[in-house]
Every structure is written in structure tokens, then in C-alpha cells.
């Protein structure tokens, strides 16, 4: 089967679709779609409920078919996903709860914290591939730092406390990665520690998490479902989630569910030993079955 990935330009959403295609064993092409305006995006919801689909809502884009499956994640992709699935006679796959749209996709995946319809998976689709940036083992620890968002603040003091814990309690390698949202003040704070390997994203925009998952432990701030999903997609590291101040909402429900199921431990000053990983191996058989549907 050949897939078309519909992207809204957000890397986190695109990575979910790429991971889905990886687990399904699909070749793919990517198209980025942009609504002409906010009004056009709003019209997409209404037209979907009327069963009407048109490219006129989008800025022009070109494709080379045919495609057997159209897949996407995020509210800005779902109208285009249905439109293109109809154009190519392809199956449609929504990778997150498509709130506000008719639930007539061929497959819908949803997470428990999102309270949606469809096939429930514990985390977002994710695939963190080791790239050989750093070699880590069971005695080593990694720290992955995100940044503030509409739900969480990130104070230098709480990040400093975690860094101090890592240097006081681990005698192997200690490695660090910041992210696109990490405040510069926190990056500067963390640069003051003698990490054995570090990625300061504002200076070196790479993602070493696939290598970090070979450590004994990985600490991740709770602001990013994408980073946590990556950490649970493979490797051997026990996952410690660093709680942040704020109104967690569905982010909080997300980590609490995963802690309850043994995928991660909410760091409370003492180490847990949560090493359960998410097995996405079922996806290939599911897509093969979908191919046989009329």
C-alpha cells in the first residue's frame, strides 16, 4: 500500500504520521495543506457535516497519485484528509481524536485522556530511532527538557532541582537535551553543569532522544506528549516525568494514566522503575485488514 500523509506543518503531528507509516510498513508521500483563511478552516467543519468536500478552502497544492491510504493528525488536516481520500478512492486514517468532525473515517486512533471514539492507544504514535550521537548504558541518565505552554509554567528552580538530583544520584554518564520551547534562561542554567553530552537546541537543533532511550533512566518534563510518547516507544530506559506547575488538564490525565499503567513514574524525589513500553506491532496487521475492506 502507498500512503499520503497530510501535514499541517506542525512537526509533532507529522512525526505521528511518519511513525504510523513506519509501523505499518508503508511507502508514503507528504503534502502540506494550508487553509486560505481562518474562515475557510471553520467552513471545513460545517461542510464535513454536510458531506461536501472542495479544494477551494485550501491554498493550491499538487500531488502524484494513486494512494491507497490517507493519514493525518491534528484538526487542520482532517477535512483535507477526507477530501483527498475521496479523490483517490483511498482509506482514511485519523491519528488523534477528530473533534468536531463526523466520525466516518475508516480508522480513528485516540488516547484515553482525550475521551474520543476509535481504537485506543496509550500514547501518540511515535518512533525514536537511535542515531549514534552518544552511546549510553544502564548506569547512565538522560534529561530531556521541554518548555512552558498554555498549561504549564517552567521555573528555573524546579529544573535546577532535577539537575542537582541527577548529579548527586547517578555515577554514570549524564546527558541533556533541550527543545525548541526551552527558555534561554533555563538553557543557560543547564549549560553550567558538566554534562557528558548535551544538546542545546537553540544552538544545535537535533533530536537525540532515540540514543537517550538506551540509558538506565530518562527524565522528561511533563509539558510535551510528543516527547513522552517517544520515550515510551522503545529502548530500555525507565521513564521519570518531571511535574511542572500549572493547570495540567488533559496533559495531567495523560501522565497519570500512563503512571497508573506502569509506563512511567511521576518523579517525586525518589526513583521509580517504570520500564513498560508501548507495542505498536499490531498496526501492520490492522492496515493489512483495512486493505481488504471494500
Q: Are residues 257 and 147 in the same domain?
A: yes
> Is the residue at 10 inside a domain?
yes
The C-alpha cell that represents 72 in the structure block: 493525518
Q: Are residues 262 and 288 in the same domain?
A: no
DSSP 51-89: T---GGGB---------SEEEE-STTTHHHHHHHHHHHT
Q: Are residues 151 and 97 in the same domain?
A: no
Q: Are residues 97 and 183 in the same domain?
A: no
The rounded mean pLDDT for the chain is: 94
DSSP 107-166: EEEE-GGGT-SSEE-SS--------SS----TT-EEEE-----SSB---HHHHHHHHHHH
> Is the residue at 93 inside a domain?
yes
> Is the residue at 99 inside a domain?
yes
How far is 170 from 162, CA to CA, in rounded Å? 12
Q: Are residues 161 and 60 in the same domain?
A: no
What does the pLDDT read at residue 251? 82
Q: Are residues 176 and 202 in the same domain?
A: yes
Q: Are residues 74 and 154 in the same domain?
A: no
Which residue segment(s) compose the domain that 60 sits in?
A: 2-121+283-292
What does the pLDDT read at residue 183? 95
The answer to whether the predicted template modeling score (pTM) of the entire model surpasses 0.85 is yes
Phi, psi of 150 (to 5 degrees): -70, -15
pLDDT in tens, the chain (294 residues): 899 999 999 988 999 999 999 999 999 999 999 999 999 999 999 999 999 999 999 999 999 889 999 999 999 999 999 999 999 999 999 999 999 999 999 999 998 877 778 999 999 999 988 899 999 999 999 999 999 988 899 999 999 999 999 999 999 999 999 999 999 999 999 999 999 999 999 999 999 999 999 999 999 999 988 899 999 999 999 999 999 988 767 788 899 999 999 999 999 999 999 999 999 999 999 999 998 887
Q: Are residues 115 and 147 in the same domain?
A: no
Q: Is 217 helix (H, G, I), strand (E, B) or coil?
A: strand
What does the pLDDT read at residue 177? 97
Q: Are residues 155 and 234 in the same domain?
A: yes
How far is 175 from 196, CA to CA, in rounded Å? 6
Q: Are residues 103 and 193 in the same domain?
A: no
The total domain count for the chain is: 2
CATH number at residue 166: 3.40.50.1950
* Burial environment of residue 69 by CB neighbours within 10 A (0 to 12, 13 to 18, 19 or more): buried
> Is the residue at 29 inside a domain?
yes
Q: Are residues 150 and 35 in the same domain?
A: no
How far is 26 from 289, CA to CA, in rounded Å? 14
> Is the residue at 126 inside a domain?
no
CB 237 within 8 A of CB 216: yes
Q: Are residues 153 and 112 in the same domain?
A: no
Amino acid at each position: 500500500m502507498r500512503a499520503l500523509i497530510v501535514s499541517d506543518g506542525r512537526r509533532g503531528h507529522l512525526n505521528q504520521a511518519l511513525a504510523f507509516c513506519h509501523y505499518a510498513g508503508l511507502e508514503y508521500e507528504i503534502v502540506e495543506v494550508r487553509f486560505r483563511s481562518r474562515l475557510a478552516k471553520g467552513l471545513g467543519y460545517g461542510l464535513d457535516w454536510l458531506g461536501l468536500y472542495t479544494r477551494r478552502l485550501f491554498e493550491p497544492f499538487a500531488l502524484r497519485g494513486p494512494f491507497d491510504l490517507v493519514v493525518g493528525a491534528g484538526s487542520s488536516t482532517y477535512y483535507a484528509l477526507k477530501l483527498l481520500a475521496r479523490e483517490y478512492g483511498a482509506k482514511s486514517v485519523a491519528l488523534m481524536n477528530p473533534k468536531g468532525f463526523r466520525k466516518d473515517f475508516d480508522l480513528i486512533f485516540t488516547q484515553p485522556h482525550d475521551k474520543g471514539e476509535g481504537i485506543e492507544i496509550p500514547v501518540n504514535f511515535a518512533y525514536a530511532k537511535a542515531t549514534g550521537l552518544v552511546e549510553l548504558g544502564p548506569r547512565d541518565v538522560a534529561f530531556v527538557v521541554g518548555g512552558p505552554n498554555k498549561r504549564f509554567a517552567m521555573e528555573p528552580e524546579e529544573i535546577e532541582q532535577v539537575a542537582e538530583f541527577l548529579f548527586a544520584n547517578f555515577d554514570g554518564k549524564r546527558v541533556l537535551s533541550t527543545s525548541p520551547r526551552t527558555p534561554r534562561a533555563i538553557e543557560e542554567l543547564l549549560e553550567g553543569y558538566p554534562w557528558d553530552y548535551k544538546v542545546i537546541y537553540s544552538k544545535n537543533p537535533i533530536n537525540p532522544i532515540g540514543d537517550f532511550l538506551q540509558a538506565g533512566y530518562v527524565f522528561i518534563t511533563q509539558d510535551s506528549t510528543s516527547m513522552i510518547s517517544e520515550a515510551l516507544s522503545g529502548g530500555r530506559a525507565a521513564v521519570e516525568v518531571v511535574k511542572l506547575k500549572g493547570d495540567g488538564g488533559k496533559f495531567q490525565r495523560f501522565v497519570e494514566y500512563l503512571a497508573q499503567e506502569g509506563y512511567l513514574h511521576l518523579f517525586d524525589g525518589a526513583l521509580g522503575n517504570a520500564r513498560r513500553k508501548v507495542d505498536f506491532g499490531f498496526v501492520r496487521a490492522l492496515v493489512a485488514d483495512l486493505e481488504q475492506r471494500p
